[in-house]
């Protein structure tokens, strides 16, 4: 059975100035990926989606973010989820306004 590899949407991400700046800042990106809040967010997503998380992530890698966005929206409706996401957002360096 020949499995098709998901197409990356890196080109699309790089069009977004905030995403591009974050992806180019490897030190901040590594720190963010290893942060306790990021780990907790992944736990919350896994609890909510179970096996569906991998499918949602694969869909997002192909450019269809609906399932993953829906999961994040569900997580944000809980107090803990909203706090975790807010703390993660606060760790991302702000871009200067133009």
Query: Does residue 5 lie within any of the structural domains?
Result: no
Query: Does residue 36 lie within any of the structural domains?
Result: yes
Query: Does residue 3 lie within any of the structural domains?
Result: no
Residue 62: name the closest of 12, 4, 8 by CA.
8
Query: Does residue 4 lie within any of the structural domains?
Result: no
Query: Does residue 2 lie within any of the structural domains?
Result: no
* Counted domains in the chain: 1
The whole-model pTM stands at 0.68
> How crowded is the C-beta side of 50, counted as CA atoms within 13 Å?
0
- Domain interval for residue 60: 10-91
> Whole-angstrom Cα distance, residue 42 to residue 39?
5
Torsion of CA 79, 46, 35, 62, to 10 degrees: -110
Query: Does residue 28 lie within any of the structural domains?
Result: yes
Ramachandran quadrant class, 50 (left: phi over 0; alpha: psi -120 to 50; beta: rest): left
pLDDT tens, the chain, 98 aa long: 343 434 456 666 677 777 777 778 888 888 888 999 999 999 999 998 888 888 988 888 888 889 989 999 999 999 999 999 999 988 887 765 55
pLDDT number for residue 6: 44
Torsion of CA 27, 29, 30, 31, to 10 degrees: 80
Q: What φ, ψ does residue 4 adopt, rounded to 5°?
A: -85, 130
Query: Does residue 55 lie within any of the structural domains?
Result: yes
Query: Does residue 96 lie within any of the structural domains?
Result: no
């Amino acid at each position: 059975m020949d499995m098709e590899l998901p197409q990356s949407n890196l080109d699309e991400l790089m069009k977004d100035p905030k995403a591009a700046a974050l992806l180019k800042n490897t030190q901040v990106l590594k720190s963010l990926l290893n942060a306790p809040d990021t780990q907790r967010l992944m736990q919350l997503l896994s609890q909510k989606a179970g096996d569906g998380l991998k499918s949602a992530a694969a869909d997002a890698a192909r450019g269809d973010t609906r399932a993953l966005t829906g999961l994040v929206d569900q997580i944000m409706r809980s107090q803990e989820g909203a706090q975790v996401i807010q703390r993660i957002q606060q760790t991302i360096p702000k871009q200067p306004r133009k």
